[in-house]
Structures are given as structure tokens and as C-alpha cells.
Amino acid sequence: MTAVLSEETRTRDAIVAVGKSLFERGLTFGSTGNISVRLSTGEMLMTPTNASLGALDPARLSRFSAEGVHTAGDTPTKEAFLHQCMYCKRPEHAAVVHLHSTHSVAVSILADVDPEDALPPLTAYYVMRVGALPLVPYFPPGDTALAEAVALKAEKSHAVLLANHGPVVAGRTLADAQYATEELEETAKLFLLLRGSAIRPLSDEQRRALRR
Ligand code: ZN
């Protein structure tokens, strides 16, 4: 029991620290963005609704049973279903970060991105941390069809980009999910900086070599 409690305490503190770090660097703003972690028991901790990621209280994080029922803490984010559909398709992943980070959202609004992979393989680190980035079609907030669309894309990739909304990224650990989300945001920024220029993304062979 002690070990379970200490895992949960450590996880609560880690969620608060990551939220503060993302907020202070302008990767999220207002009460947007949410973070979750699935504990080894299958239970889940998630940031609450209307909470700034810059000022989270570890004791008030929303807690879910392994069956996905809210059992304790503040009311969960309305976007809890985005996290749940990533976890149900990615059993090996234990953390999800969702942001409305500016450059990633900008890419999600462009009319001419490839819906199967919204960003080109600009750097090795992007390929290693993110890989393919399917675009999920736009649905209004709270539309259950969005959950189905995310689940469909999450089968193929641990990172998806919601059209006119933002990225949802799963990781084996909270740090993995955080770093992949940051790599995605920086790559989106590079992509926008390079718009209109002739670019030389990694070749298929160069991409394959990174996955070995
Ligand atoms: Zn959102």
C-alpha cells in the first residue's frame, strides 16, 4: 500500500511541475491544456476543468478508477475523453499531454497539410520523438464523434493533431509525453518559418535508419 501511495504522490507532484513548466514557457495559456497519467494500478490522475496548468494543486487533481469513473478530486477537464481514447488504444502508454500550443494549432488550421501526416520529417529528433502525426477532422468541443475520430487515429500513432484545436500526445512516461509535445510544437514552428522556402526533409531511407 505504501508503494502505491508514494507512486501517486510522486505522480501528483510531477503533473504539477510539468504543468507549471509548460505554462511559464507559454506553451499553454489561460485554463487551456490538460495532462494525465495512468498509474500502475490502472487508475488515472488528470488536471481539472477550469484550472491553469501554471497553478495546479496536487491534492485537487481529478482521480479516475481503472474503469474511467471519476472518483475523487475536482471535476475533470471536459476533454477527459481525449485522454481516455488515447489510453484505450495505447496500452503501453502511461501519460497524455494535450495543449493548444500556438504553432501546432496554426499547422492544424492550414488547408494543405497531409491528413495522414501533418508535418514533414524536418529533423531526426522529431522523427524519433513524434513520428507520424495524423490530423483528426474538426468536431465541436464535447462532440462524441471527436472521441471516435481520435481513437481511430490513435491506433496508428501516439501523437495526433486535432484540426483547428491542437495536439494530443501519449508517452510511456510523463516526461516522454511532455518532450514529444514540445518537439512537435518546435517542429511546427520550424515548418511555419520555412513556408515558401524549398526544403530538404529527411528521406524515407534516413527516417527508416532512425527506427532501427
Ligand atoms: Zn483542447
Q: Would 123 be classed as within a structural domain?
A: yes
Q: Is residue 51 part of a domain?
A: yes
Residue 56 CA, ligand 1 centroid: distance in Å: 17
Closest of 26, 24, 19, 25 to residue 51, by C-alpha: 19
The one catalytic residue in 87, 92, 116, 125 is 125
Give the pLDDT of residue 144: 80
* In the chain, % of residues over pLDDT 70: 97
78 or 184: which leads in pLDDT: 184
Please report whether residue 2 resides in a domain.
no
Q: Is residue 184 part of a domain?
A: yes
- pLDDT value for 142: 73
Distance, in Å, from the CA atom of 162 to the CA atom of 109, rounded to the nearest integer, reads: 9
pLDDT band, residue 148 (cuts 50/70/90): very high
CATH no. for residue 172? 3.40.225.10
For the chain, the domain total comes to 1
Clarify whether 43 is annotated catalytic.
no
**141: pLDDT confidence band, cut at 50, 70 and 90?**
confident
pTM comes to 0.95
Give the ranges where the chain is alpha helix by DSSP (H): 2-24, 80-89, 102-109, 124-129, 144-154, 174-193, 204-211
Q: What distance in angstroms lies between residue 65's CA and the mean position of ligand 1's atoms? A: 23
Residue 47 domain boundaries:
7-210
Q: What is the pLDDT of residues 7-22, one digit of tens each?
A: 999 999 999 999 999 9
In a domain, 169, yes or no: yes
Model pLDDT, residue 3: 58
23 belongs to a structural domain: yes
Catalytic residue list contains 125? yes
39 belongs to a structural domain = yes
Strand partners, 34: 98
Q: Looking at the domain assignment, is residue 1 inside a domain?
A: no
